[in-house]
Protein backbone atom coordinates (compact mmCIF):
# COMPACT_ATOMS: atom_id res chain seq x y z
CA UNK A 1 0.00 0.00 0.00
CA UNK A 2 2.82 2.36 0.80
CA UNK A 3 5.07 1.40 -2.08
CA UNK A 4 3.39 3.33 -4.85
CA UNK A 5 3.33 6.55 -2.89
CA UNK A 6 5.53 9.31 -3.93
CA UNK A 7 8.60 10.33 -2.05
CA UNK A 8 8.14 12.37 1.01
CA UNK A 9 7.82 11.73 4.63
CA UNK A 10 5.63 8.87 5.66
CA UNK A 11 4.31 9.27 9.10
CA UNK A 12 2.09 6.96 10.98
CA UNK A 13 -0.21 8.08 13.66
CA UNK A 14 -1.48 5.33 15.79
CA UNK A 15 -4.50 6.10 17.70
CA UNK A 16 -7.35 5.05 19.74
CA UNK A 17 -6.58 2.09 21.79
CA UNK A 18 -9.11 -0.15 23.39
CA UNK A 19 -9.97 -0.84 26.93
CA UNK A 20 -11.39 2.60 27.31
CA UNK A 21 -12.79 2.73 30.78
CA UNK A 22 -15.61 4.99 31.70
CA UNK A 23 -14.28 5.53 35.21
CA UNK A 24 -14.73 9.22 35.82
CA UNK A 25 -11.84 10.85 37.57
CA UNK A 26 -10.94 14.42 38.32
CA UNK A 27 -8.91 14.46 35.09
CA UNK A 28 -12.15 14.17 33.16
CA UNK A 29 -13.33 17.42 34.68
CA UNK A 30 -10.23 19.40 33.72
CA UNK A 31 -11.03 21.91 30.99
CA UNK A 32 -9.73 20.84 27.61
CA UNK A 33 -7.40 23.25 25.83
CA UNK A 34 -7.50 23.87 22.10
CA UNK A 35 -6.58 20.65 20.31
CA UNK A 36 -2.93 20.74 19.25
CA UNK A 37 -1.56 20.08 15.77
CA UNK A 38 1.65 19.04 14.10
CA UNK A 39 3.63 20.89 11.41
CA UNK A 40 1.80 19.30 8.47
CA UNK A 41 -1.33 20.68 6.85
CA UNK A 42 -3.08 20.80 3.51
CA UNK A 43 -2.42 23.88 1.40
CA UNK A 44 -6.00 25.05 1.98
CA UNK A 45 -8.73 24.36 4.53
CA UNK A 46 -10.32 21.93 2.10
CA UNK A 47 -9.38 18.62 0.51
CA UNK A 48 -10.91 15.95 -1.69
CA UNK A 49 -11.72 12.49 -0.39
CA UNK A 50 -12.83 9.14 -1.65
CA UNK A 51 -14.34 6.35 0.43
CA UNK A 52 -12.89 3.08 -0.83
CA UNK A 53 -14.14 0.60 1.71
CA UNK A 54 -16.55 -1.90 0.21
CA UNK A 55 -18.53 -2.17 3.43
CA UNK A 56 -21.85 -0.40 3.23
CA UNK A 57 -21.87 0.12 7.01
CA UNK A 58 -18.41 1.69 7.17
CA UNK A 59 -19.05 3.80 4.06
CA UNK A 60 -21.94 5.28 5.98
CA UNK A 61 -19.77 5.80 9.08
CA UNK A 62 -17.14 7.68 7.05
CA UNK A 63 -19.84 9.70 5.32
CA UNK A 64 -21.45 10.71 8.62
CA UNK A 65 -18.06 11.72 10.04
CA UNK A 66 -17.40 13.82 6.92
CA UNK A 67 -20.78 15.52 7.34
CA UNK A 68 -20.12 16.21 11.01
CA UNK A 69 -16.81 17.95 10.26
CA UNK A 70 -18.19 19.82 7.23
CA UNK A 71 -20.99 21.16 9.42
CA UNK A 72 -18.41 22.88 11.66
CA UNK A 73 -17.29 25.09 8.76
CA UNK A 74 -13.66 24.84 9.88
CA UNK A 75 -12.65 22.60 6.97
CA UNK A 76 -14.39 21.29 3.89
CA UNK A 77 -14.12 17.69 2.73
CA UNK A 78 -15.19 17.50 -0.90
CA UNK A 79 -15.95 14.27 -2.76
CA UNK A 80 -13.20 13.41 -5.24
CA UNK A 81 -12.35 10.51 -7.49
CA UNK A 82 -10.45 7.36 -6.68
CA UNK A 83 -7.68 8.47 -9.03
CA UNK A 84 -6.90 11.87 -7.59
CA UNK A 85 -8.56 12.31 -4.18
CA UNK A 86 -6.19 13.67 -1.54
CA UNK A 87 -7.71 11.53 1.21
CA UNK A 88 -8.53 7.85 1.02
CA UNK A 89 -10.96 6.48 3.61
CA UNK A 90 -10.79 2.72 4.06
CA UNK A 91 -11.32 -0.22 6.33
CA UNK A 92 -8.32 -2.36 7.22
CA UNK A 93 -7.73 -5.51 5.24
CA UNK A 94 -6.62 -8.62 7.14
CA UNK A 95 -2.92 -7.84 6.71
CA UNK A 96 -3.46 -4.19 7.59
CA UNK A 97 -5.42 -5.20 10.67
CA UNK A 98 -2.42 -7.24 11.81
CA UNK A 99 -0.25 -4.14 11.43
CA UNK A 100 -2.74 -2.04 13.39
CA UNK A 101 -2.45 -4.35 16.38
CA UNK A 102 -4.56 -2.89 19.17
CA UNK A 103 -5.50 0.27 17.29
CA UNK A 104 -9.09 0.68 16.17
CA UNK A 105 -8.10 3.39 13.69
CA UNK A 106 -5.00 4.57 11.87
CA UNK A 107 -4.06 7.54 9.71
CA UNK A 108 -0.96 7.61 7.52
CA UNK A 109 0.24 10.41 5.34
CA UNK A 110 2.91 11.65 3.01
CA UNK A 111 3.96 15.28 3.06
CA UNK A 112 6.36 17.47 1.16
CA UNK A 113 7.69 20.60 2.83
CA UNK A 114 5.06 20.01 5.51
CA UNK A 115 2.22 20.11 2.99
CA UNK A 116 0.13 16.98 3.02
CA UNK A 117 0.06 15.29 -0.35
CA UNK A 118 -1.76 12.02 0.31
CA UNK A 119 -3.54 10.82 3.42
CA UNK A 120 -5.03 7.42 4.13
CA UNK A 121 -7.25 6.80 7.13
CA UNK A 122 -8.59 3.40 8.04
CA UNK A 123 -10.92 1.84 10.53
CA UNK A 124 -10.27 -1.60 11.98
CA UNK A 125 -13.67 -3.35 11.84
CA UNK A 126 -12.61 -6.60 13.50
CA UNK A 127 -11.44 -4.80 16.66
CA UNK A 128 -14.37 -2.38 16.67
CA UNK A 129 -16.68 -5.39 16.62
CA UNK A 130 -14.66 -7.44 19.09
CA UNK A 131 -14.81 -4.65 21.65
CA UNK A 132 -18.45 -3.89 21.11
CA UNK A 133 -18.14 -0.36 19.78
CA UNK A 134 -21.59 1.08 19.15
CA UNK A 135 -22.59 2.97 16.00
CA UNK A 136 -21.84 6.29 17.71
CA UNK A 137 -18.50 4.98 19.05
CA UNK A 138 -17.57 3.98 15.48
CA UNK A 139 -18.56 7.43 14.29
CA UNK A 140 -16.32 9.06 16.92
CA UNK A 141 -13.38 6.93 15.83
CA UNK A 142 -13.96 8.05 12.22
CA UNK A 143 -14.23 11.69 13.36
CA UNK A 144 -10.95 11.25 15.27
CA UNK A 145 -9.15 9.86 12.22
CA UNK A 146 -10.51 12.69 10.06
CA UNK A 147 -9.07 15.06 12.68
CA UNK A 148 -5.65 13.54 11.92
CA UNK A 149 -6.20 13.86 8.17
CA UNK A 150 -6.52 17.65 8.64
CA UNK A 151 -3.37 17.75 10.76
CA UNK A 152 -4.73 17.59 14.30
CA UNK A 153 -2.66 15.83 16.96
CA UNK A 154 -3.92 14.21 20.15
CA UNK A 155 -5.51 16.31 22.85
CA UNK A 156 -4.45 15.20 26.36
CA UNK A 157 -7.92 16.06 27.69
CA UNK A 158 -10.76 13.55 27.59
CA UNK A 159 -13.34 16.09 26.43
CA UNK A 160 -11.97 16.12 22.88
CA UNK A 161 -12.61 13.89 19.89
CA UNK A 162 -8.80 13.84 19.60
CA UNK A 163 -8.16 12.26 23.01
CA UNK A 164 -6.02 9.25 22.06
CA UNK A 165 -8.34 6.73 23.62
CA UNK A 166 -11.51 8.53 22.74
CA UNK A 167 -14.56 6.45 22.10
CA UNK A 168 -17.55 8.27 23.57
CA UNK A 169 -16.84 11.90 22.69
CA UNK A 170 -17.73 13.58 19.39
CA UNK A 171 -16.29 16.75 17.84
CA UNK A 172 -15.90 19.45 20.50
CA UNK A 173 -15.41 23.21 20.36
CA UNK A 174 -11.70 22.73 21.23
CA UNK A 175 -11.34 20.46 18.19
CA UNK A 176 -13.01 22.94 15.84
CA UNK A 177 -10.79 25.69 17.24
CA UNK A 178 -7.77 23.44 16.69
CA UNK A 179 -8.61 23.08 12.99
CA UNK A 180 -9.27 26.81 12.63
CA UNK A 181 -5.94 27.60 14.28
CA UNK A 182 -4.16 24.94 12.19
CA UNK A 183 -5.28 26.67 8.98
CA UNK A 184 -4.42 30.15 10.24
CA UNK A 185 -0.93 28.84 11.09
CA UNK A 186 1.65 28.26 8.34
CA UNK A 187 2.86 24.77 7.45
CA UNK A 188 5.99 23.89 9.37
CA UNK A 189 4.68 25.37 12.61
CA UNK A 190 2.95 23.24 15.19
CA UNK A 191 1.01 24.02 18.35
CA UNK A 192 0.87 22.16 21.63
The span of 15-23, 42-50, 166-174, 181-189 binding Zn ion (CB under 5 A) equals: 15-23
Listed in sequence order, the residues at least 6 apart from 168 whose beta carbon sits closer than 8 Å to its beta carbon are 20, 22, 136, 137, 140
Determine contact, residues 103/16, Cβ cutoff 8 Å. Answer: yes
Work out whether 53 is an interface residue with Zn ion (CB under 5 A).
no
The crossing angle, in degrees rounded to 10, of helices 56-72 and 135-150 is: 60
| Residue 166 binding Zn ion, by CB under 5 A | no
Considering the complex, what minimum distance in angstroms separates the CB of residue 95 from Zn ion?
21
Between 66 and 142, CB nearer to Zn ion? 142
15 touches Zn ion (CB under 5 A):
yes
Q: How many residues bind Zn ion (CB under 5 A)?
A: 1
With contacts defined by CB under 5 A, name the span among 12-20, 88-96, 109-117, 173-181 that binds Zn ion: 12-20
Cα 66 to Cα 123, 129, 145, 168, 186: the distances in Å are 14, 22, 11, 18, 24
Q: In the bound complex, which residue of the shown chain has the CB atom lying closest to Zn ion?
A: 15
Please state the closest distance from residue 36 (CB atom) to Zn ion, in A.
12
CB atoms under 10 Å from CB of 21, counted, come to 8
Site residues, Zn ion (CB under 5 A):
15
Amino acid sequence: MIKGWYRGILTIITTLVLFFTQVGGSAALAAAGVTPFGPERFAHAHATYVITTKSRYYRQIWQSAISAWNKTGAFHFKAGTKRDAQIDLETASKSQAARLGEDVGLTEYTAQNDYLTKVTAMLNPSLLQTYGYSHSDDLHVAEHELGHTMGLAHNPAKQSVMYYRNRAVGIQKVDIEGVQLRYRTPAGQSAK
